[in-house]
């Protein structure tokens, strides 16, 4: 179990202003947490691969492929644009 001085030191590092009752409560809680960590350190993890997520994940992406557009569709789209230049929508400069 943590000593009173160790608990006070931890509280000071965490900038916690604790009274005597709170100090005793945190002393018990921190001791229980540290006891559990000691128990976890006893576990045999030989051969266990480290991981960052609990499930296997991968980045999902698509191939960058050129899509052929049908010229009739382009004509329909560009006819509805207020201004075009070389088949593209022309907009005002923003800089």
Per the domain annotation, does 59 fall within a domain?
no
pLDDT given for residue 57 in this prediction: 79
Residue with tokens 């100090």: 23
Question: How high is the pLDDT of residue 63?
Answer: 85
Query: Distance (Å, rounded) from C-alpha 29 to C-alpha 9?
Result: 15
Q: How far is CA 73 from CA 8, 18, 22, 79, 84, in A?
A: 74, 72, 73, 10, 15
Whether 83 maps to a domain, the answer reads: no
33 within domain boundaries = yes
CA angle centred on 27, ends 21 and 28, rounded to 5° = 95
pLDDT, position 66: 84
Domain coverage including residue 37: 4-41
Residue 77 has pLDDT above 80, yes or no: no
Domain count, the chain: 1
Whether 75 is in a domain gets the answer: no
Which tokens in the block code for residue 43? 């576990």
Distance of CA 79 to the CA centre of its chain: 45
How many Cβ atoms sit within 10 Å of the Cβ of residue 69?
Answer: 10
Report the CATH number that the domain containing residue 30 is assigned in CATH.
Answer: 1.10.20
CA separation for the pair 73, 95 (Å, rounded): 31
The per-residue pLDDT for range 17-74, each reduced to its tens digit, is 999 999 999 999 999 999 999 999 999 989 888 888 788 878 888 888 887 777 777 7
Mean pLDDT within 63-86:
79
């Amino acid at each position: 179990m943590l000593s009173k001085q160790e608990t006070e030191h931890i509280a000071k590092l965490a900038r916690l202003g604790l009274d005597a009752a709170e100090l005793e409560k945190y002393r018990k809680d921190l001791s229980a947490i540290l006891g559990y960590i000691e128990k976890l350190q006893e576990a045999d993890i030989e051969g266990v691969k480290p991981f960052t997520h609990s499930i296997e994940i991968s980045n999902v992406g698509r191939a960058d492929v050129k899509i052929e557009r049908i010229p009739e569709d382009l004509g329909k789209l560009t006819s509805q644009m207020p201004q075009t230049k070389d088949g593209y929508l022309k907009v005002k400069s923003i800089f």
